């Protein structure tokens, strides 16, 4: 059997186009454009690429992009001063601080400083709590993107066995909460899980978010399972070249799975599309502007 390849790039383009249509309506109704402030600290090359992509996607959707590039040596206090300014800036509907941050800055303190109602990354503990108990808030972009891909592929998720591999605050835990809200039976597996292949073999849905290239093998999967690969691992190749690899061994998994996301071109592009979506949602909430329920 050969799995269906889930086209995250295409799904992300479609979501961004839908958001752009709604942004046009929002601008016509309110006379202003939603604004996203992105803060980059230091010169991590991958982070710089992601921040550039976010700015471009924001502008393409008809929104305002405010980029703040700060030196790697900036103090935690100075970074938090900037966040406080953005919190009180009425032109800013969404704020995100690109992760990872340099070692001398505590990401938890920085995230805590963001106004939860502008926290379009959904990382603030208030938003984590809202997600856990079913209140309106912001859902982290990567798990939200995964859920959108799953629903497009499978429709109703109710009653399905879902295994999330990885328990990070920004992917694994919120992903598990989202699947639970869809009435899945959810297992969170992690580095101390015993007999991981056996746990994964029970899953109709596998979400791999561990950060280890090719860890999940085809013979771990239930035939026909839907596999969402969140991993973005840069793997060294021959002659100094490198390539991206997911957490799933695509060659073997695509022989057994029913559907699978590729890396690149799967979950990654959905992260940015969902960020644009969350920014519009933030602006719309502020102005009482109604958006389609399924956006």
- Give catalytic residue positions: 54, 98, 121
The residue with its CB nearest to ligand LMY7XDAE is: 268
Sorted by sequence, the CB contacts under 8 Å of residue 20 that are 6+ apart come out as 60, 61, 62
Q: How far is the CB of 82 from ligand LMY7XDAE (least distance, A)?
A: 15
Instruction: Between 142 and 254, name the residue whose CB sits nearer to Mg ion.
Output: 142
Is 167 annotated in some ligand binding site?
Answer: yes
What's the half-sphere exposure (Cβ side, CA atoms, 13 Å) at 25?
Answer: 14
- C-beta closer to ligand LMY7XDAE: residue 25 or 55: 55
At its nearest, how many Å lie between ligand LMY7XDAE and the CB of residue 27? Answer: 25
Owner of token pair 């994964």: 200
Q: Are 70 and 82 in contact (CB under 8 A)?
A: yes
Tell me the H-state helices in the chain. Answer: 8-30, 45-60, 76-87, 107-113, 125-133, 141-154, 172-181, 196-201, 250-256, 267-287
3-state secondary structure of 105: coil
Residue 110 touches ligand LMY7XDAE, criterion: CB under 6 A: no
Nearest to 38 by CA among 90, 93, 78, 1: 93
Determine, following the binding rule CB under 6 A, whether residue 138 of this chain makes contact with ligand LMY7XDAE.
no
For position 279 contacting Mg ion by CB under 5 A, the verdict is no
Q: Which of 142, 254, 261, 278 binds Mg ion (CB under 5 A)?
A: 142
**17-35 per-residue burial string, b: 16 or more CB within 10 A, e: under 16:** ebbbebbeebbeeeeebbb
- Name the residue nearer to Mg ion (CB basis): 62 or 269: 269
166 near ligand LMY7XDAE, rule: CB under 6 A: no
Task: Indicate whether 139 belongs to the interface with Mg ion (CB under 5 A).
Answer: no
Measuring CA to CA, which residue among 215, 218, 219 is closest to residue 247? 215
Q: By C-beta, is 196 or 280 nearer to ligand LMY7XDAE?
A: 280
Which of 131, 263, 273, 280 touches ligand LMY7XDAE (CB under 6 A)?
A: 263
Which residues of this protein are in contact with ligand LMY7XDAE, per CB under 6 A? 50, 96-99, 121, 141-142, 232, 244, 263-265, 268-269, 271-272
Which residues of this protein are in contact with Mg ion, per CB under 5 A? 142, 271
Binding residues for NADP(+), as ranges, are: 166-168, 232
């Amino acid at each position: 059997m050969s799995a269906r390849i889930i086209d995250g790039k295409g799904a992300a383009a479609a979501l961004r186009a839908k958001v752009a249509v709604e942004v046009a309506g929002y601008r016509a109704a309110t006379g202003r454009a939603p604004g996203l402030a992105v803060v980059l600290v230091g010169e991590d090359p991958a982070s710089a690429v992601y921040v550039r992509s976010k700015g471009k996607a924001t502008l393409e959707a008809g929104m305002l992009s405010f980029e703040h590039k700060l030196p790697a040596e900036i103090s935690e206090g100075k970074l938090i001063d900037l966040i406080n300014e953005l919190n009180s800036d009425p032109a800013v509907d969404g704020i995100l601080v690109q992760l990872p941050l340099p070692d001398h800055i505590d990401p938890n303190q920085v995230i805590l400083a963001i106004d939860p109602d502008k926290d379009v990354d959904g990382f603030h503990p208030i938003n984590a709590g809202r997600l856990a108990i079913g209140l309106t808030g912001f859902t982290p972009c990567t798990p939200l993107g995964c859920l959108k891909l799953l629903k497009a592929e499978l429709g109703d998720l109710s009653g399905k066995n879902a295994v999330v591999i990885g328990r990070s605050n920004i992917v694994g835990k919120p992903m598990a909460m989202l699947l639970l809200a869809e009435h899945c039976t959810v297992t969170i597996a992690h580095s101390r899980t015993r007999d991981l292949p056996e746990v994964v073999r029970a899953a109709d849905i596998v979400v791999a978010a561990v950060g280890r290239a090719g860890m999940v093998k085809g013979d771990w999967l239930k035939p026909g399972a839907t596999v969402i690969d969140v991993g973005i691992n840069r793997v060294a190749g021959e002659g100094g070249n490198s390539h991206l690899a997911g957490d799933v061994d695509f060659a073997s998994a695509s022989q057994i799975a029913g559907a699978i996301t590729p890396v690149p071109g799967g979950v990654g592009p959905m992260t940015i599309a969902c960020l644009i979506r969350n920014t519009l949602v933030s602006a719309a909430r502020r102005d009482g502007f109604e958006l389609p329920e399924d956006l």
